């Protein structure tokens, strides 16, 4: 509640500053996030942050926000039935698939941009230029794999579109809540904000945010990776002591 009041005050302040400079620079766009870092702590169960900003004049334009996560090793697999059992038969290892891809816009993107402009601006999962490693696929096959990847990622909440998620206030201020699910992975997240009018890019701004493990969980993760032998021995010792204590505690009863 307090942070919301503070935010409104800050937005009003931003509006005043921006309103005074806007006429001089109609083609500007500035955007920022309500957090500087998303910390995955022990009680982490997803996080909602706010992306906000201002444009020179958005009265007859639209805003598209692209929130893109780190590129990780992602594999798609296709099952086939072999003597009655469904088995993974084909694998596509993606070279450049983002682990997180959320799009927020004032209206459905199809109404804002033509297919050609979407492709020019690399907006939408079909325009990310997704390529498999090694494996050669026909264009049609590749398109099928990309649709399947999108389907699976949408189910996990990692890829999503929020048409109408961005709201514009007083013609210059825009905002959208960005929901990061609990299964989000650490890394650098890139944010791109586009101001579109009549199918043309008017202004663009970029920012980024780090999603990082923090606190006790981060410490455990680091020890497990950097001192793995010690971690393994510790896990065993912990289990032996815990088992011993449990047996002793219930021996009398």
Partner 1 sequence: MYIYLPIAEVSMHIAVVIGLGGGIGFLSGMFGVGGGFLMTPMLIFLGVPPAVAVSTEANQIVASSVSGVLAHWRRGNVDFKMGAVLLTGGLVGSSLGVLLFSILRDIGQIDLVIKLSYVVFLGIIGALMLMESVRAIMRTRQPGARRSKMHQHNWMHGLPFKMRFRKSKLYISALLPFFLAAFVGVLSAIMGVGGGFILVPAMIYLLGMPTYVVIGTSLFQIIFVTANITLLQSVQTQTVDFVLAGLLLFGAVIGAQIGARFGTKLRGEQLRGLLALIVLMVSLKLGFDLVITPEDVFSVEIMK
Q: Does 224 bind partner 1 (CB under 8 A)?
A: yes
Strand order of the sheet with strand 62-68? 37-40, 200-213, 187-197, 62-68, 101-105, 159-163
- DSSP state, 131? -
Give dist(CA 159, CA 156) in Å, integer.
8
Closer residue to partner 1 (CB): 68 or 213:
213
Among residues 37, 30, 33, the alpha carbon closest in space to that of 7 is found at 33
Residues 111-150 that bind partner 1 (CB under 8 A): 145, 148-149
Choices 51-59, 121-129, 166-174, 213-221; region in contact with partner 1 by CB under 8 A: 213-221
Closer residue to partner 1 (CB): 24 or 85:
85
Residues 179-208 that bind partner 1 (CB under 8 A): 182-183, 185
Q: How far is the CB of 159 from partner 1 (least distance, A)?
A: 10
Closer residue to partner 1 (CB): 20 or 81:
81
Q: How far is the CB of 33 from partner 1 (least distance, A)?
A: 21
Would strands 159-163 and 101-105 be described as parallel, antiparallel, or unpaired?
parallel
Whether the CB-CB separation of 12 and 186 falls below 8 Å is answered with: no
Would you put residue 117 in left (φ > 0), alpha (ψ -120 to 50) or beta? Answer: alpha
By CB under 8 A, name the one of 3, 21, 48, 156 that touches partner 1: 156
Q: Within 10 A of 60 (CB to CB), how many other CB atoms are there?
A: 8
Give the x-and-dash track for 6-45 against partner 1 (CB under 8 A): ----------------------------------xxxxxx
Q: Does 211 bind partner 1 (CB under 8 A)?
A: no
Q: Does 151 bind partner 1 (CB under 8 A)?
A: yes
Residues 57-116 that bind partner 1 (CB under 8 A): 72-81, 84-88, 91, 99
Task: Say how many residues touch partner 1, by CB under 8 A.
Answer: 61
Give dist(CA 14, CA 11) in Å, integer.
5
Would you put residue 129 in left (φ > 0), alpha (ψ -120 to 50) or beta? Answer: left
Q: How far is the CB of 221 from partner 1 (least distance, A)?
A: 5
Give dist(CA 221, CA 42) in Å, integer.
12
By CB under 8 A, name the one of 9, 135, 212, 220 that touches partner 1: 220
Strand order of the sheet with strand 29-33? 29-33, 47-55, 173-180, 167-169
Whether the CB-CB separation of 76 and 92 falls below 8 Å is answered with: yes
**What residues make contact with partner 1 under the rule CB under 8 A?**
40-46, 72-81, 84-88, 91, 99, 145, 148-149, 151-153, 156, 182-183, 185, 213, 216-218, 220-221, 224-225, 228-229, 231-236, 238-240, 242-244, 246-247, 249-250, 253
């Amino acid at each position: 509640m307090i942070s919301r009041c503070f935010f409104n005050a800050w937005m009003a302040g931003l509006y005043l500053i921006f309103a005074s400079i806007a006429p001089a620079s109609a083609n500007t766009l500035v955007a920022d996030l309500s957090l500087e870092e998303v910390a995955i702590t022990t009680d982490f169960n997803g996080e909602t942050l706010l992306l906000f900003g201002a444009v020179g004049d958005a009265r007859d334009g639209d805003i598209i926000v692209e929130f893109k996560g780190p590129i990780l090793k992602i594999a798609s697999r296709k099952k086939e039935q072999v003597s009655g059992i469904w088995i993974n038969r084909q694998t596509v290892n993606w070279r450049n698939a983002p682990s997180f891809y959320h799009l927020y816009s004032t209206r459905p993107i199809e109404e804002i941009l033509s297919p050609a402009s979407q492709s020019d601006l690399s907006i939408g999962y079909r325009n990310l230029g997704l390529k498999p490693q090694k494996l050669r696929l026909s264009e049609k096959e590749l398109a099928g794999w990309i649709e399947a990847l999108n389907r699976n990622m949408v189910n996990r909440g990692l890829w999503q579109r929020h048409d109408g998620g961005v709201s514009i206030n007083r013609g210059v201020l825009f905002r959208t809540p960005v929901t990061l699910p609990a299964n989000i992975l650490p890394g650098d997240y890139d944010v791109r904000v586009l101001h579109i009018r009549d199918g043309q890019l008017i202004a663009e701004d970029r920012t980024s945010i780090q999603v990082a493990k923090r606190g006790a969980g981060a410490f455990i993760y680091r020890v497990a990776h950097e001192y793995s032998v010690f971690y393994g021995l510790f896990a065993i010792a912990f289990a032996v002591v815990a088992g011993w204590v449990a047996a002793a505690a219930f021996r009398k009863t």
